[in-house]
Amino acid sequence: MAAQAELRWAILVIAIVVFLLGMVVYMSLHWALMPPARIETIDPTTLHLAGEFTEGNLGTAIEPDGSVTVRVIGQQYSFTPQCLLLPANTPVRFRSTSSDVVHGFIISGTNVNVMLEPGYISTFEATFKTPADRVMPCHEFCGVAHAAMWARVRVIDKKDFFKQAGKERRLSCV
């Protein structure tokens, strides 16, 4: 009797583990949620002085090879730039980091969801299918004004984006 009860519990536990593993596989394939492929480090104390995260480099840029990259910094208690301008239907590479503590980077209605950690560059790629205005609240508790820390994301028509990009080196919708 006791052995039977034990077996029942064992089967239940195995079923839960199999279900969770199945969920990981499903999310990986269907939502393309992958662990970061590589690690890049950066000194958070000199971010604003030199390198790719100086103020003039923040925002959306078209790289020499034609790809689109967005550089964003999170700090207590805002993101820079405060409004990201992105093209629809185009793969966009994000490069982002924090200048102080851990912040969260999430874009509403999409599967974009990463942590910004001081000392590390978070990189990922996303494609936004349709033009839309989205919000980007910090979702890692980062201090007293955490709840007020958020930015906006404006996805616009690809043609309009590239027209604007021809005029400016860095784009944003602040």
Q: Tell me the three-class secondary structure of 11-54, residue by residue.
A: HHHHHHHHHHHHHHHHHHHHCCCCCCCCCEECCCCCCCCCCCCC
99's CB contacts (< 8 A; 6+ apart) are: 44, 47, 48, 73, 74, 75, 118
Give the binding range for Cu ion (CB under 5 A) out of 28-36, 89-97, 101-109, 110-118.
Answer: 101-109
Q: Which of 71, 95, 103, 134 binds Cu ion (CB under 5 A)?
A: 103
Tokens coding 69: 């990259």
What minimum distance in Å lies between the beta carbon of 103 and Cu ion? Answer: 4
Give the binding range for Cu ion (CB under 5 A) out of 38-46, 64-72, 136-144, 153-161.
Answer: 136-144
User: Rule CB under 5 A: is residue 136 a binding residue for Cu ion?
Assistant: no
Size of the site for Cu ion (CB under 5 A): 4
What minimum distance in Å lies between the beta carbon of 60 and Cu ion? Answer: 21
Binding-site ranges for Cu ion (CB under 5 A): 103, 138, 142, 149
